[in-house]
Amino acid sequence: MVRGELDREEYIRFLMMLWHVYDTLELGLERHASHSILSFTHNPALLSRAPALSSDIAHFLQTADWQNHPLHVELMNDPPAALSQYLERLKDIASSGDPSPLLSHAYVRYMGDLSGGQVIRGRVTKSYSLEDGLGVSFFDFKPLGGTGTATIGEMRKIKEWYRENMNSAVGDNQDLKADIVEEAITAFELNGGLFAALRPPSLPSLEVCIPTLPPLGEPITPVDGSFNKLSGGGGSTVLYESKVAEKMYQMSGVIAVVAAMSLAHFALVVGGFTGDRGMAKLEALRSWWFAH
């Protein structure tokens, strides 16, 4: 998807899966809007993604009745196991006596949309020849307390607002913190399942060059104007150094390495190994991985 090689139909199928995830999540959040933990970050006017996803799918398929489109009917007649598991998890939490873990799922999805999702927006726009913002409203947010479309700087403020309110909601409850972190790990795994369920591009892309990766750390929101660089508008990319590694790897190998190292970094942070201590452990793990 980031390389712009996903078939158009498969991208639409992915949007449909995301719609079901967000529709289920946001129904749960609305159901518990006054909950002592969830109320702190409940702001559907600012965050809700399901309506935008529906609009994007309708644009791609040129019909507002996209849920009766053969592509969606086929998806729901035989949904990927990953999608079914994701939806079941969200429904179980929303129906339980303690819906607070919905915060974990909201955090993982919304923060991702506000960060790396903005890079994907530029790639999707170019890959599928989209114009005038049509088909990518899912990636657009309103500014805090304002109208129009948020800039990258304003999206950063939304993330800061969300984190501050999430921290205020959880407070010093150590057991709740542990539960929220544990459910966030589950949310990451469920999202990984959706990506794994995507069908490969119809056009072969057997090998790719791995660029030199930057140190793993806080997900970076791209700066204004960086979309053109990433999608071939000139200049160096903001995500990776321009130097290309000499070795060539199969795409499956790239995904496995990136996923494993990202998960390792997340685990170190969760375990409290931040700063120099965490990076030392991560580098040791990175060296072991590539040596094997």
How many of the other CB atoms lie within 10 Å of CB of 98? 12
Kindly give, in sequence order, each residue whose CB lies less than 8 Å from that of residue 181, ignoring residues fewer than 6 positions away.
104, 270
Q: Would you call 109 helix, strand, or coil by DSSP?
A: helix
**pLDDT digits (tens), the chain, 292 positions:** 888 899 999 999 999 999 999 999 999 999 999 999 999 999 999 999 999 999 999 999 999 999 999 999 999 999 999 999 999 999 999 999 999 999 999 999 999 999 989 889 999 999 999 999 999 999 999 999 888 999 999 999 999 999 999 999 999 999 999 999 999 999 999 999 999 999 999 876 544 444 544 554 555 555 555 444 444 444 433 333 333 333 333 434 444 444 444 454 444 444 444 555 555 555 555 554 445 4
The model's pTM is: 0.71
Total count of residues recorded for the chain = 292
The CA distance from 284 to 107, in Å, is 29
For the chain, what are the domain ranges?
8-196, 207-291
Q: Which fold has domain 8-196?
A: Heme Oxygenase; Chain A (1.20.910)
Q: Where are the alpha helices (DSSP H) in the chain?
A: 8-31, 44-47, 50-61, 70-77, 81-95, 102-114, 116-127, 152-170, 174-196, 226-230, 251-270, 275-291
Structure tokens, 59: 């644009």
